[in-house]
Amino acid sequence: MRKKADLPTKICAHCGRPFTWRKKWERVWDEVKYCSDRCRNARKGSAPPQA
């Protein structure tokens, strides 16, 4: 079993926050761009927030 700290991470294309690998993304990890359904649905018509 892997520790959570050992799992791969990515940066969300919408909100810019880091997120970690999930079991449900096992087969499509290379295609995952958004951390949640909320960010995926909000991708149309808005730019990422300026931090």
Please report the pLDDT score of residue 46 as a whole number.
59
pTM above 0.85, yes or no: no
Helix (H, G, I), strand (E, B) or coil at 11: strand
Q: For residue 13, give the amino acid letter.
A: A
The answer to whether the CB of 14 falls within 8 A of the CB of 42 is yes
Please report the pLDDT score of residue 6 as a whole number.
83
Please report the pLDDT score of residue 5 as a whole number.
79
Please report the pLDDT score of residue 4 as a whole number.
75
pLDDT tens digits in sequence order for the chain, 51 residues long: 768 778 899 999 999 999 999 999 999 999 999 999 999 998 776 555 655
Please report the pLDDT score of residue 13 as a whole number.
93
Per-residue b or e along 19-39, where b marks 16 or more CB atoms closer than 10 Å to that residue's CB: bebeeeeeeeeeebebbeeeb
